[in-house]
Structure 1
């Protein structure tokens, strides 16, 4: 469960049916309902008789909703696929310096929050409207944002994925 917390620090969960001690001793698979773990809403927890625990994250939607969602038959471009080490490398080599400089500048200007779009465009909200302030080159693609949030939080930078934006805030 600690691995789940490392990947999704704000995650919460509830057992759909808590395993009995007999099931745990024999090994079983149970489902948990996940909260704050987008895009996943369930987990399949497998407990083996030897004590090994595995969690598979699952996104379940009603079939009617799945059919209504637009289909994208194109696979991700290879350059859009980053694993955690790539995100960490980008963050340590470029990202932390860029974010720190933006935060310092915007903080002096009285702002406490910024949003970053998928293309790297950075905005602040002023008078209820998003105002562009900068662009972060080579910003990681959307699938890597959860990992990016975890890395930012390790540096005491509050970051979360909100819809199609990454929101960064500070006190």
Structure 2
């Protein structure tokens, strides 16, 4: 629309100029005046066309940049949202450290009355209750009068504990079918130091840190690879090593554990580890 107005104005100017030259200029000078009028009109039209095209090109560039920016923002949003959901589902290192600090506080609280107590969480994700406040339940071992406790957390980092004894109304006797004996596969030569660095170190360090925060001071690695602790005269499995070396390598593994700061001794059915 603006281009049409410019063309109309320029054409009107040209007509007025031509009529004025034809009316007031005579002789050879008339041709030069007419040529000058046409030159001015031509320059006017060229400049107007360039300015119009420049505005259109700038508008197209702005529209392209905005479209490109929207596409980038949509991609970034689509990438961030699943990542945030995944992070909320997996416990982070800060939550794990906080959980161990709270476990130490609960152990100190319980051991002030029951020095031999050990315990374990009944909640699958106790760190959520710790951060938001609330009540959760723990299982007690080594306490003669109680077998559970309810632990309350508030927003002021206070911890309170109520001791419980829960007795079922009926006990179900479930017969367990005997599992088939595992076939012994030929053992390959094992370097105890290499096995400990590749498999044993990380599992034991994490497990010892967790058990220590809950009042335990020892565990046993069975011949099957099961890592067990003693609770109320019962072995409770905590983790398991795959492809645990044969008995011939146990003494070497015990020495490697001692060099790593753990007290280890070889027994008939496994390796006893304490800290």
- TM-score by structure 2 length? 0.32
**So what's the TM-score if we normalise by structure 1?**
0.50
Q: Identify, as 1 or 2, the structure richer in strand.
A: 1
Q: Which of the pair is proportionally richer in helix? A: 2
Taking CA–CA contacts closer than 8 Å with sequence separation of 6 or more, which of the two structures ends up with the larger relative contact order? 1
